[in-house]
Amino acid sequence: MLVGTLMSKTFAELLDASAQSVRGAIRANLYDGHTAGLGGPRLQANLAILPEQYALDFLRFCQRNPKPCPLVGVSDTGNPIMETLGNDIDIRTDVPAYYVYEHGTLTHTQTDLTDIWRDDFVSFALGCSFTFEHALLDAGFSLWHIENNTTVPMFETSIPTIPAGPFSGPMVVSMRAIPNDRIHEVIEISKMFPLAHGAPVHIGDPAAIGINTTDQPDWGDAAPVPDGTTAVFWACGVTPQAAIRTAKPPISITHKPGHMLITDIPDDAETPIFQTHHHPTGDNT
């Protein structure tokens, strides 16, 4: 098919596609939307790309804050191929949208990093709560942001992280409204996914963790908390974006919140290491 005849893909068209097929659409610039519910039962990952001189301190930051920053992959310096996360994952092209920061300030969004890639970049992949949503859907939970094709709401909190070098700041959380009589169930399901933040960090009153209102998220889209449900908050891999604002590296790159890297790692994996000989060539379903 000629490039000129390629058509953009919609969220609905990609819902049943494999992880590799979704990444292929993203790489071809046919899809730049959120990834909640896409890619099947595969680990989704947040992203942080930093110059090598900041990499060790950021690695320490993730190690000291494993709940919001569950590290699942680290690239070699200058290598954009995330070899431990799947077949042919190019971190420059396989995320739907990227945030570019200069000295800690968000300057613009890109859908391809090829033109600004540097030989000193180190890429970090951090597990994402989108990963366990497949298990919640299978258990019959209703997830408003998926049903309404929006991005899950995310909030800065008053919960501090443990600093490392220049990196510090508040924990960021994502919120989902859960039926009151199923909260214990959602805790039990999500805690089985330690690479995707595990169990919630807070249940109930948002003000208790420094969130004044759930109607105005810091990232993502507002979602209702209907009668009979409770706001449940999970640690979120957008936490490094708050830390980057403090560290102020000359340049840094993250995913646009809600727009994740979909890996080939099964969502229930106990280790993030991907072994290519375990998967046949072609789409993994």
| All structural domains of the chain | 17-129+244-268 (3.40.1640.10), 132-239 (3.30.2040.10)
Alpha-carbon span 189 to 183, nearest angstrom: 10
pLDDT top residue among 81 and 281 = 81
Q: What is the mean pLDDT of the chain?
A: 91
Q: How confident is the model at residue 48 (pLDDT cuts 50, 70, 90)?
A: very high
| Averaged pLDDT, 59-75 | 95
Q: What is the mean pLDDT of residues 50-76?
A: 96
Look at 23-32, 70-79, 261-270 and tell me which has the smallest mean pLDDT.
261-270
Inter-residue contact 247 to 167 (CB < 8 Å)? yes
Contact 209, 154 (CB under 8 A): no
Q: Answer whether residue 230 shows pLDDT above 80.
A: yes
Q: Would you state the pLDDT for residue 6?
A: 64
For residue 46, pLDDT over 70 is answered with: yes
Query: What pLDDT was estimated at residue 255?
Result: 94
The per-residue pLDDT for range 124-174, each reduced to its tens digit, is 999 988 888 888 999 999 999 999 999 999 999 999 999 999 999 999 999
Region 50-79: mean pLDDT is 96
pLDDT number for residue 277: 37
In this prediction, residues 15-27 reach a mean pLDDT of 94
Whether 278 shows a pLDDT value over 70: the answer reads no
Tell me, what's the pLDDT at 132? 87
pLDDT grade, residue 271 (50/70/90)? low
- More confident of the two residues 110 and 195: 110
Average pLDDT on 214-224 reads 95
pLDDT, residue 3, reads 43
